[in-house]
Each structure stands twice: as C-alpha cells, then as structure tokens.
C-alpha cells in the first residue's frame, strides 16, 4: 500500500493529476481492505482480485511511462 501512495505522490508531483487520483483511489481501496481483514480474515480477494490489482498496477506503470519516461 505504501507503494501505491508513493506512486500517487510521484505522479502528482510530475503533473499527472488523473493518474495520481487513480493511484490514490487504488491505495484507499487497499486500505479499506486492510481494515476489514486486520483482526481476522473476513474478506478473501483470491486469485481473481489479486490478478485484477496486478493488471491495474501494470497499466498504471505503462501509462506513467508513456506520460513521462522517468516514471517507468
């Protein structure tokens, strides 16, 4: 989750506002998931959920690299 927040901060500082918002939303959903699962596992993401999160992160990395190559 720190990676998502750090990525959101870097995107915001580089001028990629919409990507920073998307990365921040992804971080906040991860935080919400942590709140529900911290005491005991009550929600299970599974392979499909983790695959979707990985796909979103890969897409964000590619779009950030297209926007500004130093971010890739």
Binding-site residues for Mg(2+) sit at 47
Number of domains in the chain: 1
**Of the candidates 65, 54, 52, 55, which has an alpha carbon nearest to the alpha carbon of residue 16?**
65
pLDDT of residue 29: 80
Q: Position of tokens 């990395």?
A: 61
- Binding site: what residues are annotated? 47
Residue 67 has what pLDDT?
77
- pLDDT at residue 13 in the model: 82
The parts of the chain modelled with pLDDT lower than 70 are: 1-4, 41-43, 71-72
Domain residues for the domain of 23 are: 2-71
Whole-model pTM over 0.75: no
pLDDT of residue 2: 63
């Amino acid at each position: 989750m720190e990676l998502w927040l750090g990525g959101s901060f870097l995107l915001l500082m580089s001028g990629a506002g919409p990507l920073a918002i998307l990365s921040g939303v992804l971080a906040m959903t991860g935080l919400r998931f942590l709140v529900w699962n911290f005491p005991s596992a009550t929600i299970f993401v599974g392979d499909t959920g983790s695959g979707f999160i990985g796909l979103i992160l890969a897409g964000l990395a590619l779009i950030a690299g297209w926007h500004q190559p130093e971010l890739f």
